[in-house]
């Protein structure tokens, strides 16, 4: 077997690079999850994690991937046949719709061109049309990881309020939490869906539901079947720092460490760091003469940049060249964007020199794969970073 010297560049938009501090925290003996030492860990995490969601409400932690948190958000709040309003912002929004359909919910879908976020005016109009209040929840993916477009959650909240509609507001922050400004309580979000493997800088394996009082009230009448995902069991056990079934103990050690790191840096600084890296990346893309997929400057994602390939060039072939030549993984195009875009992840544990290396790998890869482009993308990004 061949051996690649140096560090692999994991520049997909999640899972992200896990910092050494988090890896070391995970690398400890597993303890009795029903013993007193665990209760201390559980209580610290369940209290501190709320700061990351900007909520005073409970945050439920499942041993699961993000898709589990999607399912949990629906089965705990809704009943068979309920209508939900969803915006098809990209591939992940489509997958969430599929879960809703499989659960027996009726999804009313507002389309987009996959280059724009959820449109607050369209959401308002759909809710105004629903004078009988048959729509029970509005489900939005905050940061569409498949497109690099971030929907404007605060403005969507205002749209729901203008329509004076009582639907729950359920938001997927899987690739925005701890990377892009997100304010659960201020924006009146009822359920926040999240995962461990992106801004939280952990390996995959933890999924989250943060739940408002209104969501908890809805859960008392929700009739979709649930067992593993039941909020009741979780919240009852969480009161004393425990879980109703075996938690992912070692990932929770990692979570304690990542929360400490994020709070030490300060959430606003974390957001600013991501914003700056996204700006530098877009400057590089423009200098290469390539196009960013996101078409609305107010909706550029800070956690990833999706880049359109020139006509006649396959993005996956380019990604394969970059992996082979420079040991760097870039994100693939998903769903209808397969082969048409590549995605540069710049979220999680990441700094200026890592971004410089990432963009250097892209620029060298474009040359090696003979993709038509101008040189100077890295230089444009470095100028921005040096300011
Ligand atoms: N939602 C978004 C925005 C995502 O980016 C992802 C995965 O990347 C998911 C949901 C699904 O999460 P998972 O693959 O962890 O189940």
Query: Is the Cβ atom of 67 under 6 angstroms away from ligand 1?
Result: yes
Q: Which of 263, 280, 309 is the last residue of a domain?
A: 263
Number of compact structural domains in the chain: 2
Beta bridge partners of 143: 150
Assign residue 244 the CATH number of its domain: 3.40.640.10
Assign residue 379 the CATH number of its domain: 3.90.1150.10
Burial of residue 205 (number of CB atoms within 10 Å: 0-12, 13-18, 19+): middle
Q: Of ligand 1's atoms, which has the minimum distance to the CA of residue 144?
A: 3
Residue 1 inside a domain? The answer is: no
Three-class secondary structure of residue 194 per DSSP: strand
**pLDDT for res 1:** 61
What's the 387 CA to ligand 1 centre distance in angstroms? 34
Q: Are residues 254 and 376 in the same domain?
A: no
Residue 150 inside a domain? The answer is: yes
With the most atoms of ligand 1 within 8 angstroms of its CB, the residue from 64, 67, 73, 204 to mutate is 67
Average pLDDT over residues 367-379: 98
Average pLDDT over residues 148-165: 98
Residue 31 inside a domain? The answer is: yes
d(CA 58, CA 201): 21
- Tell me the per-residue pLDDT of 193-202, one tens digit each, with 9 for 90 and over: 999 999 999 9
Residue 4 inside a domain? The answer is: no
Q: Are residues 178 and 305 in the same domain?
A: no
d(CA 318, CA 199): 26
Average pLDDT over residues 122-138: 98
CB 89 within 8 Å of CB 147? yes
CB 105 within 8 Å of CB 167? no
φ, ψ (nearest 5 deg) of residue 108: -100, 120
Pairing of strands 59-63, 206-211: antiparallel
Query: Is the Cβ atom of 14 under 6 angstroms away from ligand 1?
Result: yes
* Residue percentage of the chain with pLDDT more than 70: 100
Q: Which of 247, 263, 279 is the last residue of a domain?
A: 263
What's the 146 CA to ligand 1 centre distance in angstroms? 9
**pLDDT for res 19:** 98
Q: Are residues 106 and 84 in the same domain?
A: yes
Q: Are residues 28 and 136 in the same domain?
A: yes
Q: Are residues 291 and 252 in the same domain?
A: no
Q: Of ligand 1's atoms, which has the minimum distance to the CA of residue 68?
A: 16
- The angle, 0 to 180 degrees and rounded to 10, between the axes of the packed helices 377-386 and 267-288 is 150
Q: Are residues 130 and 49 in the same domain?
A: yes
Q: Which domain holds residue 230?
A: 20-263
Which of 361, 253, 298, 217 is CA-nearest to residue 18? Answer: 253
Q: Are residues 193 and 292 in the same domain?
A: no
Q: Is the pLDDT of residue 174 over 80?
A: yes
- Tell me the per-residue pLDDT of 267-285, one tens digit each, with 9 for 90 and over: 999 999 999 999 999 999 9
d(CA 335, CA 292): 18
- Tell me the per-residue pLDDT of 218-251, one tens digit each, with 9 for 90 and over: 999 999 999 999 999 999 999 999 999 999 999 9
Residue nearest to ligand 1 atom 2, measured at CA: 174
Q: Which of 201, 232, 263 is the last residue of a domain?
A: 263
């Amino acid at each position: 077997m061949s051996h690649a010297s140096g560090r692999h560049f994991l520049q997909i938009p999640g899972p992200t690079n896990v910092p050494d501090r988090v890896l070391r925290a995970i690398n400890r003996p597993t303890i009795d999850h029903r013993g007193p030492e665990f209760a201390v860990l559980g209580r610290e995490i369940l209290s501190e994690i709320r700061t990351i969601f900007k909520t005073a409400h409970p945050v439920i932690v499942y041993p699961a991937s993000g898709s589990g948190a999607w399912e949990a958000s629906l089965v705990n709040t809704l009943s068979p046949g309920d209508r939900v309003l969803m915006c098809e912002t990209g591939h992940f929004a489509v997958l969430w719709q599929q879960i809703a359909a499989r659960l027996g919910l009726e999804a009313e879908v507002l389309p987009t061109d996959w280059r724009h976020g959820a449109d607050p005016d369209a959401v308002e109009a759909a809710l105004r049309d629903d004078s009988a209040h048959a729509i029970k929840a509005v489900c939005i993916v905050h940061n569409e990881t498949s497109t690099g477009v971030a929907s404007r959650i605060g403005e969507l909240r205002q749209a729901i309020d203008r329509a004076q509609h009582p639907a729950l507001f359920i938001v997927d922050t899987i690739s925005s939490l701890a990377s892009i400004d997100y304010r659960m309580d201020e924006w009146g979000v009822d359920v926040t869906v999240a995962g461990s493997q992106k801004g939280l800088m952990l390996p995959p394996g933890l999924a989250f539901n943060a739940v408002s009082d209104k969501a908890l009230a809805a859960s008392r009448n929700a009739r979709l079947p649930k067992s593993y995902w039941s909020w009741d069991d979780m919240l009852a056990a969480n009161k004393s720092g425990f879980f109703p079934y075996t938690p992912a103990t070692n990932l929770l050690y990692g979570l304690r460490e990542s929360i400490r790191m994020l709070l030490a840096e300060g959430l606003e600084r974390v957001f600013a760091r991501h914003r700056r890296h996204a700006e530098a990346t877009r400057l590089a893309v423009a200098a290469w003469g390539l196009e960013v997929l996101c078409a609305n400057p107010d909706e550029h994602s800070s956690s990833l940049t999706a880049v359109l390939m020139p006509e006649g060039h396959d993005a996956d072939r380019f990604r394969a060249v970059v992996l082979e030549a420079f040991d760097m993984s870039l994100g693939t195009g998903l769903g209808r964007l397969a082969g048409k875009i590549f995605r540069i992840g710049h979220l999680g544990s990441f700094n200026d020199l890592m971004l410089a290396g990432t963009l250097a790998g892209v620029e060298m890869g474009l040359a090696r794969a003979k993709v038509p482009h101008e040189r100077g993308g890295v230089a444009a990004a470095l100028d921005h970073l040096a300011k």
